[in-house]
Each structure stands twice: as C-alpha cells, then as structure tokens.
Structure 1
Amino acid sequence: MSKVLFMNLPAHGHINPTIGLVKELIAKGEEVTYLTGEEFREKIEKTGAKFKSFKFYLDDKDDDEDNLRSDLPYEVREAIKMLQRVVKTCKSVFDAVFNDEEKYDYLIYDSMFIIGSEIGKSLSLPTICSHTTFVKAFEEPSNPGEMPLYMEEFRHIFDSIAELERTYGIKFPDIISGYPMAEGMLNLVYTSRYFHPDVKGIDDTYKFIGASIADRNEKVDFPFEKIEGKKTIYISLGTIFNDSVEFYESCFEAFKDMDVKVVLSIGNRIDTGVFSSIPDNFIVLPYVPQLEVLEKTDLFITHGGPNSVNEAVYNGVPMILVPQYADQFIVAQRVEELGAGIIIDKDKLNAGLLKQAATKIMSDESFRVSSKKIGDSLKEAGGIKRGADEILEFVQSCREE
C-alpha cells in the first residue's frame, strides 16, 4: 500500500472527474489523502479518502484588496486582485502541505494546480498530473495591454511571491505573463485521443484514459416521471456562469411552444421569482442530477465545460454550445468540428437562434451519431481502471529506478 496526496481546485468540473479514480485507487489498496476546499469534504470522504482543506481565496470577492489607486484601469485592478488571491491561495496550500507530518509516496494534482509540480520537487515525490480539460488549453499568451505601464503596482505581489519562495524553498511559476498549466512526470487526460485536438508537446507521458464517469455520491430529488418517454432538452451553464437571467428568458421564449420537456438548471445564485413567467413545459431547479438526466436527454444546451461535454457524449447526446470562458471555446470548437453540436456566440444569442439550432439538431440524426462516436472513443480508452493501473505502474517504475 502506498500513500498518495491528491491536490485539486474546489470546483465541480475538476473534482467530479477524479471521484471514480480515487475510489479505484482505494479499491486497489492505496491510501488517498485529498486536499481541496472545505465545501467538498462530504463528497471526498464518501470515496473513502482522507480529507484535508485549504482556503481558496479566488472566490473571495469581499476582501481587503480595494486599497488600490482609484485611477487604475479596470483590467489592471482586476488583474492585481486576482493575482493577490492566487498568491494567498498558494500560501494556504503550502501551509497545509508542508505542515503535514504524513509522509507520502507520490503526488497527484490538477493541471490548473500550478504549484503542484514544484511541491513534488520539494518533497522529492513522483508526480502525476490530472488533466480534466484539453492539454495546454489555457496556455495562449496573455495580452499584456496596459500592464507594463503599471508594473510598480504589482510590486507587492512580486514581494509576496519572493517571500513564499524563501519560506518554502519553492520556485513559483510565472503568473504575471499568463496562467501556465501544470504537467507531471505522468499525465492522465480525461478524454480520448480522437476527441482531443492536435497539440504540440504531447509525448508518451500523456495517457488518454477517456471520461471518468462515476457515481457522485449524491442524493437529489428529481421528477424523472415528467420526462420519461418525452423529447427532452436539458439546459445548464455549469456552476460558475449560471446567473444569466437574460439567457434563461431566451430559453423560455425559444422552447415554450415546442412539443418538448425542458429541464433547466439555474444554480443557487438566482431565484425563480426573477422570471416574469415560466412556461408549463419547463422544469426549473437550482440543481439537477446531471448524469441521470443526460441519460434521458435528446439535446443538451451547455457552456461547453469539459466535464459536462464528456458526460453528454458518453450518453450520445448532441449539443448546442454557448461557451463562456477559456477552455470552453476550445472544447466547443472540437465538438462542432466532429459534428456533434452547434456553437452559438453568447453575445449574439437570442430565442430565434436557439430554436433554429435545436430544431436542426433534433431533426438530424447525424448529430447524435457523431456524439455517440466521441462517446464510444471515451469508453474504449480504458477509463478509471486504466488510469489507476497507469498510476500504479508508474509509481512502481519510479521505485525500481
């Protein structure tokens, strides 16, 4: 039995794909300690893993960072605030890891856990990187804009980073010029080679293991009888960009007269009272058991998050994609390229475009066939069992060196 420390961001799209892998590692005799945000304690502990938490300051909007010059451009102010939160989050992680008396045999971390590889070097541990999105999806060079004109305003961030480096003996990644994605000595990618776009720098340390679809240990009441045997559209913008009342109103207008049932997940940041009216053929809830609903869905309208897309194609569900941010544009583009969906620009979206795209997809079987082809490639890639086997084989090879 080996002891593993798994470090991850406290976000559903990063946590959910790893749940099955953690269970599989534990089933094979590994002792897993999972470090993430406190809100995921129950979900992690249900896998059998030990739970450790760190403070994730990137969600902290009401902090004490407003002592910045009032004449700074908005983009500069927001960049400084974000970097301050990144540094504070990293310090919280360092405190949790380096004050831990447990001795681990290897380290697993998410590809957006940018300090993962440096922690591995500091602890002299074999490292495995968990890629829940496409490899290098965030590594487009950032547009510096006016940033160089205000570098003095970033001075305290540089000083904080230097202090962390001295205290913990860690080389901090360059977070000023962009957001580097982490890599490991072994890299597990939760998709198939067929679905993944061609990217430079992918070598044999990258193992494409398909989608990690597993029970999320959730008990959510849902009226499945209302969609049984009916044409069903499921709409969800994920857990981050789900507060767009205007988008939801467009959905109401687009589908209120169609002979379909529409399941709409709106999250917990808005109340149904904000809507002028909800059509009778809609089921509107703050949270929906997505895996189970997708099994009964004919069309999925999504933000294009990698996890949501994987779950859709796993069930052969075609999509309308309304990407909001970063990797979602790349994932959506790949879905459209492979014939499994249609992209609608979020800034041009209206009820007419939604209805037109939905009608086209639901009347053309080729979209479902293409989605199923992607899904089959994910299933054939080996899944969580292959992922666990790759990890154990890699760790054993490190011991033999």
Structure 2
Amino acid sequence: MSKAVFLNFPTHGCLNPLLATATELVSRGENVIYYCTEEFREKIDQTGAEFRPYKGLINDFKIENDDLYKAAKLSVEMTLDKLEYNLDDIRKDNPDYIIHDSLCTWGKYTASILSIPAVNLMHSFPITKSSVSATYKMLPFLFKIGIYKLMNKLLRNSSKKRLKKRYNIELSLGDILINKEDMNIIYTSKQMEMNLYNSEKSYYFVGPSLFFKNDETKFPFERLKDKKVIYISLGTLHNNNLPFYKICLEAFGNRAYFVVLSVGKNTKIEQLGNVPGNFLIRESAPQQILLDYVDLFITHAGMNSVNEAICKGVPMLLLPHQFEQEMIAKKVFELGMGEVLSIKTITSKKIFKKAHEIISRPNYKMKAQLYQSIFKKDEEESHLKAVDQILEYVRICKNSRQVNNSHRF
C-alpha cells in the first residue's frame, strides 16, 4: 500500500472529475489524503479518503469578467499561500506520490520540492504549442489579451519573487496555463482528441468522469413534459453575466420553447425583471438529470458540461469564454454535435436563430446520439483506467529510484 496526497484547486469543475478516481484508489488499498477547502469536505468524505482542509489566507477563487491577468495573479498568490501554510504538513504525511488537477500549480511544486512523483489529472484539454497553433481562433485571442504584457506583469509580481527566494521555484506562465507532469490523465473520450497529442506520450485519454448528485426531488420536472426544452448554463466560474441572461429572456421569451435558465449564486433572479411564463429560472439545476429532458443545451463549453451533454445525447450551442473552451467548442462543432457563437458579440437574434436551427435539424441530435454510446462506455471505465495508469506510473518511478540508489554504492 502506498500513500497518495491529492491537492485540488477549490472549484466544483476541478474537483468533481477527480472524485471517482480517489474512490477507486481507496478501494484498491491506497492510503489517500485529500486536501481542499471546507466547502468540499462532504464530497471528499464520500470517497473514503482522509479530508484535510487547506490552511492559509486564500481559499476562494472568484474572477470577474474573465480577466486573465487577475486569474493568473491569484493563481500565483494561491500557490505561495498553499506552499507556505501546507507544505510542512504534507512533508510530515510523507506521501509516496502527489495527485493534483491541472490548475493546482502548488501540487506540481509540492512534488518537486519533496522529490516525489506527481500525476496531473486534467478536466479539460491540455494547452500545448500544437493545440494553440491548430485552433484557428487562438492566436488572435492571445494577442487580444496581451499575453506578453501578462508575462511581464507576472515577472514583477511580489508573490512570484517570494516563491523564487523561499523555494527556488522559477514560476512560469506555462506552469499556470499547462501544469504538465510526466503523467497527465485527461477526463474525456479519445473521440474528443484533436490529433495534437500523438507526439505527447505523457497524455492519456481515459474517458469522462461524471459526478452525480441526486437532487431531483427539488426540481419541478413535471413542467418540462411534452415540451421542447432549452437548458442554459454558463457553469460556476462564468455565471455572473446579467446582460447575457437578459438577452436570453428577450430571445426566447413567449416562444414555442420552454427554457430552464441556471444563473448561479452571483446573480439575483429579481434583477432579471419580468420573467416570461415559458422560463424556469434557478440558482442551480440538477444538470445530469435535467439533460434527460432537454432538446438543446446552451453552454460555456466547459469539459465537464460537454461530457455530460454527450453522455445524454444532447446537442449543444457553445459559447466559450476562455482558451481551452474554444478548443472544446471547435471539436464539438467538427463532430457535428453543435454550433458555436461568440459570447462577446451575442445578440437575441443570433442566439435564437442558432438554437432554432439546431433543434429543427435532426442531424445534430443524430450525431450527439452516435457519440453517446461511446462516451457512456468510456465513462463507466474512466476511473478504472485512470487508477491503472497512476499505479503503473508510480511503480515505474519507484523501481527507477531503487535502481538509481543501487548505482550509488
């Protein structure tokens, strides 16, 4: 039995895909210690792992208006905070290996400081030079956000300088955006692969990993019966978008469709004003169950949401907000399961026209159902494949270390 320490970035999107893998590691006899914030204690306790709350001053990740510099700056500050307040405890845990998600930069550096193997569990596409150049929207996007200006700002960041001084860590923008390890596990089907990672031997597509929360009794599903249903959600990080929600009300209000709109915790429903009778607005919705009733999913193109939609055979209208979501949306479009619109230039006419087109043309639904069976099979085995890869990688690292140690004598 080996000891693993999970280090998770504190968001639902980062945590949920990892839970089944943690559960499987525990079931195979691994000693698993799982660090995250108190908000996620209940979910982690259900895996059988030992929950440890992060110590530190920064335990929340909220970025308004998709500000990449603020997101990168907060990531640097969280990395320093988590190392300063948790590294000594993790060193005392004496783990054999570290498992972290793709946004948890302090997971990568913890393993480096302790000189132990690390596995990166990715809930979205990895960002590589190949993926950037192959995705036609990416290069203009990089220049638009001022990537070089961002890099220069980070170079002057005081937290970055403290990381260098205290831990001899030369933090780079690449670590923030990519966080690559020698073993990287991607939680989606290989059908979503963009033929960009064939030369990258460290990437393994194991299939979707879906977290199921049974809260169907709280939702009025009876209102959806015998209706054409559109479900709209921008996920948990990008849902503070009142102007977009008002566009949706204007686009679909008093039309032939019934619309479920999830607005998140940051938008007050009363801010929307008069709500048309064909709308059901909630702070959150039981997404996986709801998708059984849905004819179209309007989504931010997050990997978890896209995986869930495909597993239910639901076509999508994708409104990507950030780098890797552009890649995901492009792939869904190429596979014929949806259409893509820019969230920056969205209008009520544009969104209604595309939504009506997707629902009216059967080819989108047929494509989604074609890939549904593949994704569902992959989803059933994803946690098993992930753990197989993790344990084999740890075994190889252990054997390599033993060989290296024997050569010293």
TM-score, normalised on structure 2?
0.84
Q: Specify the alignment match of 1:122 in structure 2.
A: 113
Tell me if structure 2 keeps the 8 A contact 1:187–1:206: yes
Does the C-alpha gap of structure 1 residues 12 and 214 become closer, same or farther in structure 2, counting only changes over 3 Å?
closer
The superposition leaves residues 262-287 of structure 1 with CA deviations (integer Å, 9 ceiling, x where unpaired) of: 11101111211112211112111101
The superposition leaves residues 134-182 of structure 1 with CA deviations (integer Å, 9 ceiling, x where unpaired) of: 1226985773555698799x2634532322325xxxx33313x884412
1:87 counterpart = 2:89: no
Q: 2:161 aligns with which of 159, 162, 176?
A: 159
Tell me if structure 1 keeps the 8 A contact 2:216–2:289: no
SS at match of 2:93: coil
SS at match of 2:218: coil
| Shift in Å, 1:39 | 1.8
What is the root-mean-square deviation of aligned Cα atoms in Å?
2.9
| Shift in Å, 1:53 | 2.8
SS at match of 2:5: strand
Q: Residues 137-156 of structure 1 correspond to what in structure 2 (within 5 A)? A: 143-144=146-147, 154=156, 156=158
Q: Residues 218-237 of structure 1 correspond to what in structure 2 (within 5 A)? A: 221-237=218-234
- What residue ranges of structure 1 are gaps of 5+ in the alignment? 63-74
1:136 counterpart = 2:133: no
Tell me if structure 2 keeps the 8 A contact 1:340–1:371: yes
Tell me if structure 1 keeps the 8 A contact 2:299–2:319: yes
Distance in structure 2 (CA, Å) of the matches to 1:305 and 1:61:
16
Which one is further off, 317-326 or 253-262? 253-262
Distance in structure 2 (CA, Å) of the matches to 1:98 and 1:363:
58
Which one is further off, 380-389 or 272-281? 380-389
Q: Specify the alignment match of 1:9 in structure 2.
A: 9
Letter in 2 for 1:397: I
Tell me if structure 2 keeps the 8 A contact 1:137–1:326: no
Q: 1:205 aligns with which of 177, 202, 205?
A: 202
Q: Specify the alignment match of 1:41 in structure 2.
A: 41
1:98 counterpart = 2:100: no
Letter in 2 for 1:110: D
| Shift in Å, 1:355 | 1.6
Tell me if structure 2 keeps the 8 A contact 1:319–1:341: yes
Does the C-alpha gap of structure 1 residues 197 and 155 become closer, same or farther in structure 2, counting only changes over 3 Å?
closer
Does the C-alpha gap of structure 1 residues 206 and 254 become closer, same or farther in structure 2, counting only changes over 3 Å?
same
Structure with more of its chain in helix, by fraction: 2
Q: Specify the alignment match of 2:172 in structure 1.
A: 174
Q: 1:287 aligns with which of 261, 279, 284?
A: 284
Distance in structure 2 (CA, Å) of the matches to 1:213 and 1:147:
34
- What residue ranges of structure 2 are gaps of 5+ in the alignment? 133-141, 401-409
Q: Specify the alignment match of 2:404 in structure 1.
A: none
Tell me if structure 2 keeps the 8 A contact 1:132–1:190: yes
Does the C-alpha gap of structure 1 residues 246 and 115 become closer, same or farther in structure 2, counting only changes over 3 Å?
same
Q: Specify the alignment match of 2:50 in structure 1.
A: 50
Q: Specify the alignment match of 2:139 in structure 1.
A: none
Letter in 2 for 1:86: S
Q: Specify the alignment match of 1:367 in structure 2.
A: 364
Distance in structure 2 (CA, Å) of the matches to 1:213 and 1:137:
25
Does the C-alpha gap of structure 1 residues 50 and 349 become closer, same or farther in structure 2, counting only changes over 3 Å?
same
SS at match of 2:358: helix
Q: Specify the alignment match of 2:389 in structure 1.
A: 390
* Number of residues of Structure 1 aligned to a counterpart in Structure 2: 381
Letter in 1 for 2:392: E
| Shift in Å, 1:201 | 6.8
The superposition leaves residues 31-90 of structure 1 with CA deviations (integer Å, 9 ceiling, x where unpaired) of: 22112223212221222222223344663789xxxxxxxxxxxx9x984x6555333311
Q: Specify the alignment match of 1:317 in structure 2.
A: 314
Distance in structure 2 (CA, Å) of the matches to 1:83 and 1:354:
31
Which one is further off, 46-55 or 106-115? 46-55
| Shift in Å, 1:372 | 2.8
Tell me if structure 1 keeps the 8 A contact 2:262–2:282: yes
Does the C-alpha gap of structure 1 residues 211 and 194 become closer, same or farther in structure 2, counting only changes over 3 Å?
same
Letter in 2 for 1:91: L
| Shift in Å, 1:353 | 1.4
